Amino acid sequence: MNKKINKNSEAVGEHPVITADIGGTSLRVALVSQDGTILHRYQGETSAVEGPRVVTERLFAGIEAVLEESRLLPDGLQAISIAFAGIIDMDRGIVTGAPHLPGWENVPLKEPVEKRFSVPVFVLNDADAAAIGEYRYGAGKGLSNIILLTLGTGIGGGIIHDGKLFTGSAVSAAEFGHMIVKDDGPACTCGRNGCLETLASGTAIAAEAKLRIAGGEKSVLTGMTGGRTEDITAEMVHRAALDGDSLAEAVIERAAYYLGIGILNLVAVFNPEMVIIGGSVAEMGELLFGPARAMVMEKSFKAMVKDLKIVTARLGNDAGLVGAAACAFETAIR
C-alpha cells in the first residue's frame, strides 16, 4: 500500500501542529508551522523501561509544555502527529510492536491522545516520518524514489516510492534495521540474530567497543569514561576515532561494512535515486558513510548506482518531527 504525499503542500487549515518523536531513548515534542519550521520544542527522556502508561504520560507532559510555551490551547492546533519507533497500524493509530520500548504490543496511542486533547491525532513510524520530512523539506525535495535510514538506538527505514510513502499491506513497512545481514550475528531485541541494527546502530557501535575493551584491547575510551566502560556511547567512539584511536576506528569501520551491506541490498531491491542517512549516528559523517558508499558503488550493478546519491539527512535529527507535521498537514496521507 502506498500513502499519497502531495508534492505541493495541500494545507488544510491555518493552524500549526504539535508533533512528537518517541524513540527508545528520547521523547521530543515540537510545534511546527505549515512551512515545516519548528517554532517551539521540548525534549525529555522516554523512560521506555517504565512501559506504555508512563511513556504516554510523558508524552502528555511534553505536549502540555509546548502548548504552554507557545501560549496555545489544543483547539488552536490543526492536529497532533506522533512519530513512534515501532511497527504502526496507521489506520487505527495503534503501536503493534516496538523492539526498543517494552510493553508496546497492540497499544492504542491515537485514542488516548485524542481523548486528552480533542484534536485529530495521527500516528506513524518514526523513520517513515523522517522519510516524509526529507522528501518534503530536506535532501530529497524534488525527487520521487528515496530510501531513508535512521541510525540511532535502533535502525529505522522509510521508503518514498513514486512520491508516496510505502507502508506495506497492514502496518508500517521498511523495517530496515531488522534485515538479517549476519546470521550468526549478535542477538537483536526483536528476538532474531544479526539484524542490521545489531551491527550498525549507535547501540551496536557502543556495544562492540565495550566488548573489545572487555577482551583486553586498549583504547582512550577507558580514560574518557574514567574506567566505567559500561558508560561508553557511540558519540564517544566517534570522538575517539577522530583522535586516531585504533579501537574506535576499527569499531566504526565494522559498522560501516554492515551498513554498506544493508544499503547494497536496498539498492538492489529499490533502485532509488537517493539514500538518505539520518539519526544521531549520522553525525559520524564520512567516517561511516565513506566506506559504506564505496562498497555500494563497487559491488552494485553499475547502471543502478550511476546516478545514486548517498547523503546525510538535511534536517538532521528533526526530520521525524517535521515529517510528522507534513503527514498531518497534507490531507491525502490520512
Note whether 120 and 68 are within 8 A (CB): no
CA-closest candidate to residue 194, choices 174, 180, 212: 180
305 binds ligand BGC (CB under 6 A): no
Q: For ligand BGC, which is the closer residue by CB, 79 or 83? A: 83
Cβ neighbours, 10 Å, residue 306: 9
Q: For ligand BGC, which is the closer residue by CB, 100 or 164? A: 100
99 binds ligand BGC (CB under 6 A): yes
197 binds ligand BGC (CB under 6 A): yes
CA-closest candidate to residue 213, choices 237, 187, 184, 177: 237
Site for ligand BGC in 62-81 (CB under 6 A): none
112 binds ligand BGC (CB under 6 A): no
202 binds ligand BGC (CB under 6 A): no
Block residue for cell numbers 510523558: 58
245 binds ligand BGC (CB under 6 A): no
Mark the segment that binds ligand BGC (CB under 6 A) among 49-57, 74-82, 119-127, 280-288: 119-127
Mark the segment that binds ligand BGC (CB under 6 A) among 2-10, 153-161, 262-270, 295-303: 153-161
CA distance 328 to 3: 12
Site for ligand BGC in 131-150 (CB under 6 A): 150
CA-closest candidate to residue 300, choices 254, 273, 261: 261
Q: For ligand BGC, which is the closer residue by CB, 121 or 129? A: 129
Is 243 strand, coil or helix? coil
Residue 154-183 contact track with ligand BGC, rule CB under 6 A, x = bound: xxx------------------x-xx-----
Is 202 strand, coil or helix? helix
Q: For ligand BGC, which is the closer residue by CB, 28 or 178? A: 178
Residue 195 gets which letter from DSSP? B
Determine phi and psi for 27, rounding to 5 degrees.
-120, 115
23 binds ligand BGC (CB under 6 A): yes
As a 3-state breakdown, the chain gives helix, strand, coil percent values, each rounded to 5, of: 45, 20, 35
93 binds ligand BGC (CB under 6 A): no
Options 34, 125, 167, 198; binder of ligand BGC; rule CB under 6 A: 125
Mark the segment that binds ligand BGC (CB under 6 A) among 103-111, 123-131, 227-235, 301-309: 123-131
Options 58, 100, 164, 210; binder of ligand BGC; rule CB under 6 A: 100
**Dihedral sign computed on CA atoms, order 117, 123, 127, 133:** negative
> What minimum distance in Å lies between the beta carbon of 156 and ligand BGC?
3
**Long-range CB pairs of 227-236, under 8 A, 24+ apart, other chains included:** 232/206, 233/202, 233/206, 234/201, 234/202, 234/203, 234/205, 234/206, 234/280, 234/281, 234/284, 235/202, 235/280, 235/283, 236/206
Residues forming the site for ligand BGC (CB under 6 A): 23, 85-87, 99-100, 125-127, 150, 152, 154-156, 175, 177-178, 197
